[in-house]
Structure 1
Amino acid sequence: MLFTHILALGILCIIALVVALGLTRRRVYPLPLPPGPRPLPILGNALQLDPKRPWLTYTAWGKTYGNIIHSRMLGVDLIIINSETIARDLLDKRSANYSTRPVLRTAELAGLGFNTASLPYGETLRQHRKIFHQVLRAEVSVSYHEMYSRHANELVIKLLGAPSDLLLQQHIRGYTASLIVAVTYGHLADGHEDSFLTRAHELLSITKHIVPPERAALFTAFPFLEKLPSWCFGGAFALMGRCRELCQQLLNEPFDEVKAQVANGTASHSLVADFLSQAHDDADEETMKAVALMAYIGGIDTTVSVLHTFVLAMVLYPDIQARARAEIDQVVRHDKMPCLDDRASLPYLDAILREVLRWYPLAPLGFPHATSNDDVYDGYFIPKGTIVMVNQWALSRDEDVFPDASRFDPSRHLTVDGKLKDLFVNHFAFGRGRRICPGRWFAENSLWTAASAIIAVLRIEHAKDSNGDRIEVKPEFRTGIVVHPELFHCSFESVNTAREGHLRAMMNSK
């Protein structure tokens, strides 16, 4: 009973504070804000959003208010961009003003302040991006082609021998996780690697639970919440404590192990080993620790989502799958696996991957930017501190750019003579301006290698039930910062016994 009274009193205090903030934070701007739905006095537009798929609400608003929209959530200004042109004008051409991030207090409380993606624009971010460039720029990323191929080949064998097609996501996650760990830290001992992957997966799960902006907004709007007893938030504070513990373990332990291997001459080729082989001071090492762990956190969920969506598309569009396989068979000998050296000769496969990213954007609202100073665009005022979000879903459904946008059509990314229209690494899925994904070269190489290996050896089809009838598949997705296809049934069949035999021989020789 006492807890109920305390909770009720707390809620009343919060409501009173919200009302007070709404009355005291009104500002007079020199120009109108971008148009948008009328906010409620306290919650702003929060109740007008689809809570699971806010990008759909923002896309619908765009049809009423235009391609740049103002919204308000708990007293915080948001600008939503529904246009490629506006996104380029602001985040690319005016990147100096649009390259910082909103403060995610929950991330700081959970020990995730090292996260490159959420760092404010400044010297620390520049140090992170400098090291990312050193260890993951295009030419360095390509140097790991043997690791890409080895792990992709293992994925193909696992898919072919999977006792259940519903293990698909597990196998894709295993491919992505083991590849990132191998490239980042080298071939760690099995026991240590398993321990790392288990704890890293736990860290990622906690991060997805506590970091979403809607959770962080409460702590930003009401800083006094941090002072309340931890029992007020159920298990949330306990998760933050566990997150801090995991961060410290994963930042230091694998890095220190590679450092010891470099010292005694046993280190394998990896990002960390290459970094440590050069002269750096202790401050640089702390940055490298953060960069190395971010390579995992930033790469695992996104790559899994894209590869899972790729397989879904191949099930739904067998003609496109067959065309990609025919292209590979024409370029690559039937007893050899495609590799990155063949990529320039396989434009249709690249077009498929671009279409996967467009068809169902892996992060429909991207990662939020924030303005460092007041700005004016097209006669509209954009205040300092405004959160700016690019609605990638709206960009992907722009009928002027992508006619019949709901249809999966790789040909839209090819010229009439079959060449790619532009660079894959500049796809909007990789972000904008000075915050463009620094690991995009690694991401595209790992995606391409896995996709080419799967298509070269396997036919992906609809699964059949116990009566021999085809199990239908619908493109449905779980929501979140990064979206994933819902689990679906499919089957994998070898269509090239020579390549399959080649892969099995390589696996047996390990």
Structure 2
Amino acid sequence: MLDKKSRIYSDRPVLIMAGQLLGWDKGPALIPFCQTWSEYRRLFAQIMGTRSKIDSFNELFTDETHTFLRNVLETPNSWLDHSRRYAGALVLQVAFGYKAKEKDDHLVELVDEAMDNFSETTASNAFMVDVFPSMQYIPAWFPGAEWKRKSIKYQKTLQEMLEVPFLWVKQQMAAGTASNCFVSRQLEAKSLTAEEETTIKWAAAGIYSGGADTTVAHIECFFLAMTLHVESQKKAQAEMESVLGVGVLPTLADRGRLPYFEALFTEVYRCYTLAPTGLPHVCTQDDIHDGYFIPKGSIIFSNVWQFLHDPKTYSNPDKFSPERFLETPGHPKEKDPKDYVFGFGRRSCPGMHFADASMWILLASLVAGFDIRPPVKDGKPILPSGKFADGSIRPFQSTEAAPAPLFTPDRITPVDQKTFNENYGGSLICCQVMLVLYGLAVLQTYMYFMKYAKDSIAMKALVFFVWSMATVHAFFVCHTVYHYSILTYTRPLWIIDGEWSVYAATSVGVVLCFCIQTFFGRMLFLLTKGKLRWFITPVLAALVLGQVAFGIYLSYRMFSIWSLVNIHEMVYDAMVPLFVIRVASDTLTSVALCYVLFDSRTSFGKSRELIKTLIIYAMERFVLTTLVVLVQTIILVARPESIWAMVIEFVTAQLYTNSFLATLNSRNHLRGIGANGDSKYITSSNGGLRSNIDTRPGVQVMNINGNNRPFDVKYANGVRIGTETLVMTDMGDKQSV
């Protein structure tokens, strides 16, 4: 009747207390079936009318869910306050672009108060003025007119709820700092009349007033259900760990993969009816339905509770049984209660998809992260009474006076305790190793500027840049340690939300690795020639550019997801490719340098000894970084839920820095090796090494820049050295073999 004949059953009755005295009859919930009501529906459809539009809110749902979980973890006794904050924060963000405070937010409290008033004043026959409308003219000072004084107070709360956030958006727009939200889009679209502005104001109020109270009530009922039906809770947790893995919070994309939790979520809708009679409808013309004559003006109440407990529709309806919504052979799924709980016909809730999605991700994450248990007194659990409050929307009441929290969330997964301990301890170890390596980098930087003051300005600038980036990297890592070891000590919040410095340190590390590998790539380019140069250089350049691309993508994904719990989402599309390319680049550079040096051997013993030393140096520079990145990749593939690979990245960045600085600082040592012994090598005038080569016409020496220049004819111990080319590397103004 209410669905198929919604054209004549979509009006609302006149409610004196809630409608005329408070003013709710101007809002979407109680306004008569008219053109303004149609405009409200049109505005709602623009922002949340379809499931596809809800996808744009996924990031908002995730962020606020993580805030809720963190708050529950810190103060489980206040779980109801956190639920109210979650519901209010979501709709305030959508309607006004307002980011609610994590605690004691004035607008969230204002919405809660206004919606409590709405629920109280729309309950059937709650106030005599709804039965005897003429009582509305009784003055507030009249003895016994407490309801009138209450209506004045409630009206002020409603007006404040309407005006304060709306004016806040206007102020933000005037300052040019307004967020993209429902109100700002409507105000920017065109110049509005006073009537149109009022419509938008009430539509915005409808968004957050319509969603806040029902969401909170459903969360309360879910807590009640999980406390009374522990076995169902355990089954849902086991399903999540089996499907998603230990340490992974679900997302809306996982909804189709969790059939048991979906059934559990649906059964809470059915078993614990929030609005047992809904809001009343009014018939706008005479009608005959199923043999009953229904005169115009009749008030229709829908007995939603009976619909959801009808034994003709639901088997054993008084039993809490999620299995009724699981399709098995010989047992089809029973009717979806969402066909009833969100209203009927044209008066159905326009934000049903938004509310359903926001509650699903919150409650799924709650089950994944916590055990919901009753308090224990004298060794016995104190179960809640299950009584419900009065009002058109009914959250349940607890009559227990026990000081313990009604529900004790003490199951610290999404990362179980063992995994958490491993990750936390491993992270501290890696951070300490990183700080030791940074100290070595500072020492090597000081040694460089003391010993190689004659290097070119470009080389000095590169060294200073690398040291600066390493310092910034170390600062970010120190901030990470401070955040997780000091600010949140004994509180495993990082399994829920990430800290900005974690991602910033990783991004800086990517930049460091790119700069240093580019330096070694240029060295390789200058040391090679001919076909070898044009074979190795493009391949190495492609690998380095690939690191840049995946590094930028990884940074973007990390700052987009903003959750260590969901790091596994970027393992195979960002992290593994980056590390594999890095291993390939290091390996190619090391092998190519060794080959070039080996190919440069001469017939002189001292020359061969020096080349051997250079090969060992080249291998030492790359073997350690290659092995570390290889281990990092293996850990990442073997345990994608672990953050070991990410914290090892802290060490990797400083290893590359030390590799670069050690290469520069080893030049004097290598020159010393070449200068000692049988005068086959002498030190050049600019500090490099030069062979005592007979450089008669045709004998040339090639420096790192590829410039060939003749040497004078020289003899070593009276023996003329034959025609050959000596490859020299130029580190700034210095030259070395």
Q: Is this a same-fold pair by TM over 0.5?
A: yes
Aligned to 2:242: 330
Aligned to 2:178: 267
- Residue 302 of structure 1: how far off its partner (Å): 1.1
In the aligned structure 2, how far is the partner of 1:135 from the partner of 1:193? 28
Kindly provide the amino acid, as one letter, of the partner of residue 176 in structure 1: A
Aligned to 1:156: 69
Aligned to 1:194: 105
Aligned to 1:33: none
Aligned to 2:136: 226
Q: Mean alpha-carbon deviation: is it higher for 332-341 or for 366-375?
A: 332-341
Aligned to 2:409: 492
**Which secondary structure state, in structure 2, belongs to the residue aligned with residue 337 of structure 1?**
coil
Task: Map 1:371-410; keep pairs closer than 5 Å.
Answer: 371-410=283-322
**Which secondary structure state, in structure 1, belongs to the residue aligned with residue 2 of structure 2?**
helix
In the aligned structure 2, how far is the partner of 1:434 from the partner of 1:168? 35
Kindly provide the amino acid, as one letter, of the partner of residue 121 in structure 1: F
Kindly provide the amino acid, as one letter, of the partner of residue 206 in structure 1: N
In the aligned structure 1, how far is the partner of 2:211 from the partner of 2:103? 20
1:427 aligns with 2:419: no
Aligned to 1:129: 41
In the aligned structure 2, how far is the partner of 1:379 from the partner of 1:291? 39
Aligned to 1:182: 93
Task: Map 1:339-378; keep pairs closer than 5 Å.
Answer: 339-378=251-290
In the aligned structure 1, how far is the partner of 2:237 from the partner of 2:8? 45
**Which secondary structure state, in structure 2, belongs to the residue aligned with residue 204 of structure 1?**
helix
- Are the counterparts in 1 of residues 6 and 345 from structure 2 also a CA contact under 8 Å? yes
In the aligned structure 2, how far is the partner of 1:341 from the partner of 1:423? 24
- Are the counterparts in 1 of residues 124 and 392 from structure 2 also a CA contact under 8 Å? no
Q: For 1:277-328, what per-residue CA distance to the aligned partner results, in whole angstroms no more than 9, with x for missing partners?
A: 4346334432221121122222222111111111111122222112212222
Task: Map 1:436-451; keep pairs closer than 5 Å.
Answer: 436-451=348-363
Q: Taking structure 1 as reference, are residues 318 and 209 closer, same or farther at Cα in structure 2, changes over 3 Å only?
A: closer
Kindly provide the amino acid, as one letter, of the partner of residue 301 in structure 1: D
In the aligned structure 1, how far is the partner of 2:8 from the partner of 2:172? 43
Percentage identity across paired residues of the two chains: 30
Q: Taking structure 1 as reference, are residues 327 and 397 closer, same or farther at Cα in structure 2, changes over 3 Å only?
A: same
- Are the counterparts in 1 of residues 173 and 184 from structure 2 also a CA contact under 8 Å? yes
- Are the counterparts in 2 of residues 154 and 507 from structure 1 also a CA contact under 8 Å? no
Q: Taking structure 1 as reference, are residues 188 and 474 closer, same or farther at Cα in structure 2, changes over 3 Å only?
A: closer
- Residue 395 of structure 1: how far off its partner (Å): 1.0
Aligned to 2:2: 91
- Are the counterparts in 1 of residues 309 and 318 from structure 2 also a CA contact under 8 Å? yes
1:210 aligns with 2:121: yes
Q: Which of these residues, 24, 27, 42, is aligned with residue 112 of structure 1?
A: 24
In the aligned structure 2, how far is the partner of 1:131 from the partner of 1:420? 38
Q: For 1:198-256, what per-residue CA distance to the aligned partner results, in whole angstroms no more than 9, with x for missing partners?
A: 3333322333333333146x545544323333315523222222333333332222123
In the aligned structure 1, how far is the partner of 2:407 from the partner of 2:87? 20
- Are the counterparts in 2 of residues 376 and 382 from structure 1 also a CA contact under 8 Å? yes
Q: Taking structure 1 as reference, are residues 420 and 244 closer, same or farther at Cα in structure 2, changes over 3 Å only?
A: farther
**Which secondary structure state, in structure 2, belongs to the residue aligned with residue 381 of structure 1?**
strand
Aligned to 1:311: 223
Aligned to 2:720: none
Q: For 1:465-492, what per-residue CA distance to the aligned partner results, in whole angstroms no more than 9, with x for missing partners?
A: 1x33222344332232111122263321
In the aligned structure 1, how far is the partner of 2:305 from the partner of 2:335? 20
Q: For 1:401-452, what per-residue CA distance to the aligned partner results, in whole angstroms no more than 9, with x for missing partners?
A: 1111111111212211799959969430000001010111111011101101
Q: Which of these residues, 155, 166, 188, is aligned with residue 244 of structure 1?
A: 155
Q: Taking structure 1 as reference, are residues 149 and 505 closer, same or farther at Cα in structure 2, changes over 3 Å only?
A: closer
Kindly provide the amino acid, as one letter, of the partner of residue 44 in structure 2: F
Kindly provide the amino acid, as one letter, of the partner of residue 148 in structure 1: F
In the aligned structure 1, how far is the partner of 2:30 from the partner of 2:144? 24
Q: For 1:44-66, what per-residue CA distance to the aligned partner results, in whole angstroms no more than 9, with x for missing partners?
A: xxxxxxxxxxxxxxxxxxxxxxx
Aligned length: 417
Unaligned runs of 5+ in 2: 401-405, 417-491, 502-561, 563-737
- Residue 346 of structure 1: how far off its partner (Å): 1.9
Q: Mean alpha-carbon deviation: is it higher for 496-505 or for 485-494?
A: 496-505
Q: Which of these residues, 222, 232, 235, is aligned with residue 146 of structure 2?
A: 235
Q: Taking structure 1 as reference, are residues 190 and 175 closer, same or farther at Cα in structure 2, changes over 3 Å only?
A: closer
Q: Taking structure 1 as reference, are residues 469 and 219 closer, same or farther at Cα in structure 2, changes over 3 Å only?
A: closer
Aligned to 1:506: 498
In the aligned structure 2, how far is the partner of 1:389 from the partner of 1:351? 28
Higher-Rg structure is 2
- Residue 197 of structure 1: how far off its partner (Å): 2.5
Kindly provide the amino acid, as one letter, of the partner of residue 390 in structure 1: S
Q: Mean alpha-carbon deviation: is it higher for 433-442 or for 167-176?
A: 167-176
Q: Mean alpha-carbon deviation: is it higher for 149-158 or for 493-502?
A: 493-502
1:144 aligns with 2:61: no
Kindly provide the amino acid, as one letter, of the partner of residue 139 in structure 1: S
**Which secondary structure state, in structure 2, belongs to the residue aligned with residue 492 of structure 1?**
coil
Q: For 1:307-361, what per-residue CA distance to the aligned partner results, in whole angstroms no more than 9, with x for missing partners?
A: 1111111122222112212222233243432111211222322222221111021
In the aligned structure 2, how far is the partner of 1:368 from the partner of 1:358? 20
Q: Taking structure 1 as reference, are residues 324 and 419 closer, same or farther at Cα in structure 2, changes over 3 Å only?
A: farther
- Are the counterparts in 2 of residues 325 and 456 from structure 1 also a CA contact under 8 Å? yes
Kindly provide the amino acid, as one letter, of the partner of residue 382 in structure 2: I
Kindly provide the amino acid, as one letter, of the partner of residue 291 in structure 1: A
- Are the counterparts in 2 of residues 177 and 300 from structure 1 also a CA contact under 8 Å? yes
In the aligned structure 1, how far is the partner of 2:167 from the partner of 2:143? 38
Q: Mean alpha-carbon deviation: is it higher for 494-503 or for 174-183?
A: 494-503
Q: Taking structure 1 as reference, are residues 163 and 348 closer, same or farther at Cα in structure 2, changes over 3 Å only?
A: closer
Q: Mean alpha-carbon deviation: is it higher for 378-387 or for 279-288?
A: 279-288
In the aligned structure 1, how far is the partner of 2:414 from the partner of 2:2? 49
- Are the counterparts in 1 of residues 261 and 364 from structure 2 also a CA contact under 8 Å? yes
Q: For 1:2-60, what per-residue CA distance to the aligned partner results, in whole angstroms no more than 9, with x for missing partners?
A: xxxxxxxxxxxxxxxxxxxxxxxxxxxxxxxxxxxxxxxxxxxxxxxxxxxxxxxxxxx
Aligned to 1:20: none
In the aligned structure 2, how far is the partner of 1:486 from the partner of 1:399? 27
**What is the aligned-residue RMSD (CA, Å)?**
2.8
